[in-house]
Chain A
Amino acid sequence: MESETPPLRPRIEQIGEKVAAVLIIVLVIGGLLYLLNNSSPIDVAYILRELPSLLGPASLTLLITIGSYLVGMGIGFFLGWLRTLRFLPVRALATGWVESIRGTPFLVQLYLLFAIFSFYSPGNLSSFDRLRLTGFLAMMINTGAYQAEIFRAGLQSVPVGQVEAAKSVGLGYWGAMRTVILPQAVRVVIPPLTNEFILMLKASALLSVIGVHELTDAARVLSFGGKFVEVYVMVTILYLLMTVPIAKVVAWLERRYRIPGLGMQQEARARPIGGSRAIVQRLSGIDVSAFRARAANRGLEPSRGSPAGSWRGKSLTWLKTRLGMKANGSASQLPAPVKSNP
């Protein structure tokens, strides 16, 4: 008599491992906090009391970050687009600017702007406003350069062959932009852009150095009261509340919009393709090698569905009929092959 149920031990072991993992994590974190606090328990009452005072600076952090990010996005798109133009002087200027900003520390940029604005400050700004404006500008310039790189990569990720095809159909530069380049570029840039937002949130902490009363500065001031661990626990939680949801969105986006061959990580390595298969892929829009790679990725899981072997035959037949070739292999009329980079 064969038993129909799987052996019990492996399943128990699996669940046991996960439970143990959670237990270990909780114990380690609790233990660390206890030790860090000079071996005394965390003063939760203090946390609950002082938390509201941190909310104001936290919202300033958010405000400055969101504002500078959005304005920076406009700058970034413009600069990124400049870097894709054929006209060398413009491209060189944009590149020079962007690479200079990206190659130097944000702190140095901040200090430089701070020096400039301490001297040449516009009219009747209060000193606090001046500081916040300086910080805002520094962040705006910084994110503008990094986003320029993201947009440039996004615009250039569209295969050259498709752009040429669009132009040969009669669309001008802006037509090609609208119908071919931008829709595809958008999908590519969204994950790095959301990542950049998180990076900017963390960079905003540096504004405390020039005196802006944002979250890190508030933490520093509050910690003079002596309750270090409690203060930093609060600050950590607040920052995590701001960054972790967005990070999860980024991870979800990357999984959902994974585009094989456009610079995002692939699960299984597809074999390199070339020649006629590349043309077939571009024109029909499906990536045969990713299809195959996904089949390979099933590994030990028994494959379901049609008998193995015929999926390949079916997909090739389908491709051929879409191209107007007869299914048994004799070519009737192939559209003029578009030059593409395999």
Chain B
Amino acid sequence: MTHPRLSRATFAVSVVIVLLTILAVARATKALDPNLWQLLELPLVDGARNTIILSLTIIPLGLGIGFTVGWARFSRHPIISWPATLYVDFIRGVPPLVLILFAFFWIPSLFAGASFESGLAFAAFALAMHTGAYQAEIFRAGFQAVARGQIEAGEAVGLSKGQVMANVILPQTFRVTLPALGNEFALVIKDSSLLSIVGATDLAYWGKQSELGLLRLGSIEWVMLAWLIIALVYFVVTYMVTQAVGAVEQSYRVPGIGSVAF
């Protein structure tokens, strides 16, 4: 119904529309007042930095967990696949916020050296486990997408099980899971905002903190504007990550290998 070529025009126009809207709001709220930017400087810079740091920590952890659990799910031995399935179904059925709250408030107190930092670390790990469960499903689908016949053919040529994994299964799984993984990475960046609730000083945290200052020095419009700008920063970070993954996808593209839809 829409031609692929037109969707690029759509995107361009909608970007323009969004930017114009933000500019209009900015003008209406007298955003060029330097006071506003002074108030926002620290939140934006520190917040963006911490959001990126958090995401860059959680994503690789999630990848490791996801690959391992996804591989376990794919196994034909119930002793390995059933616990993995239970893990995935459990985590996907519980809100990440609940996991974070439990990890932050309770787990550190079980150990001697409890501190705010350790609570935060556990909370971030809870998020990693959450994204790990979703990535496990993506990897499982990726493993299944490699036709069993090719695995047989690899063995028939004389490759050992490890060689089949490295030379036949993994290259195809990698290509097939990239789009879905890119999507999941974007989700991690957005979910990282949940850590602000337990005190991580990321964008969302600073947004909440600066509300009062903005209200006093300016008006409610400044608060709205601040949130819009924060949303914009999240959007840009998310967009850059998906674009980067898309670029990797393109460079490894091979005719005949599609992707698992998620």
A and B touch in the complex (CB under 8 A): yes
Residues of B within 8 A of A209 (CB): 97, 197
B123 adjacent to chain A (CB < 8 Å) = no
CA distance A208 to B77 in the complex (A): 41
Our count of residue pairs bridging A and B at CB distance below 8 angstroms stands at 179
Interface residues of A in 267-302 (CB under 8 A from B): 267-269, 272, 296-297, 299
Using CB atoms, name the residue of chain A closest to B238.
A103
Additional A-B contact list (19), CB under 8 Å, known A95-B11, A115-B224:
A17-B79, A22-B82, A28-B83, A89-B13, A100-B231, A103-B239, A108-B207, A108-B227, A202-B95, A206-B194, A209-B97, A219-B98, A228-B105, A232-B98, A235-B98, A240-B90, A243-B93, A264-B261, A269-B147
B101 near A112 (CB under 8 angstroms)? no
Which residues of chain B have a CB within 8 Å of any CB of chain A? 1-2, 6, 9-11, 13-15, 17-18, 77-80, 82-83, 86, 89-90, 92-98, 101-102, 105-107, 110, 141, 144-145, 147-149, 186, 190-194, 196-197, 203-204, 207-208, 211, 220, 223-224, 227-228, 230-231, 234-235, 238-239, 256, 260-261
Taking a contact as CB atoms closer than 8 A, the residue among B83, B211, B230 that contacts A25 in the complex is B83
A112 and B9 in contact (CB under 8 A), knowing A160-B1, A239-B98?
Answer: no
Count residues of chain A with CB under 8 A from any CB of chain B: 74
A11 adjacent to chain B (CB < 8 Å) = no
Using CB atoms, name the residue of chain A closest to B219.
A119
B211 near A236 (CB under 8 angstroms)? no
Binary per-residue interface labels of chain A (1-26) against chain B in the complex, 1 for a CB within 8 Å, 0 otherwise: 00000000000000001101110110
Which residues of chain A have a CB within 8 Å of any CB of chain B? 17-18, 20-22, 24-25, 28, 35-36, 38, 83-84, 86, 88-89, 91-93, 95-96, 99-100, 103-109, 111-112, 115-116, 119-120, 155-156, 160, 163, 198, 201-206, 208-209, 216, 219-220, 223, 228-229, 232, 235-236, 239-240, 242-244, 247, 263-265, 267-269, 272, 296-297, 299
**Closest 4 A-B residue pairs measured CB to CB?**
A96-B14, A205-B95, A92-B13, A243-B93
Taking a contact as CB atoms closer than 8 A, the residue among B1, B82, B194 that contacts A107 in the complex is B194
**In whole Å, how far is B85's beta carbon from the nearest beta carbon of chain A?**
10
A86 near B94 (CB under 8 angstroms)? no
30 A-B pairs with C-beta separation under 8 A = A17-B78, A18-B78, A24-B79, A28-B83, A38-B110, A86-B2, A88-B13, A92-B13, A93-B17, A95-B11, A96-B13, A104-B235, A105-B231, A108-B231, A115-B220, A115-B223, A120-B220, A156-B2, A201-B95, A209-B197, A216-B98, A216-B101, A223-B105, A236-B98, A239-B93, A239-B95, A239-B98, A247-B89, A264-B261, A265-B145
CA distance A244 to B92 in the complex (A): 9
B147 near A104 (CB under 8 angstroms)? no
Residues of B within 8 A of A155 (CB): 1
Residues of B within 8 A of A86 (CB): 2
CA distance A227 to B74 in the complex (A): 37
**In whole Å, how far is B140's beta carbon from the nearest beta carbon of chain A?**
10
A108 near B101 (CB under 8 angstroms)? no
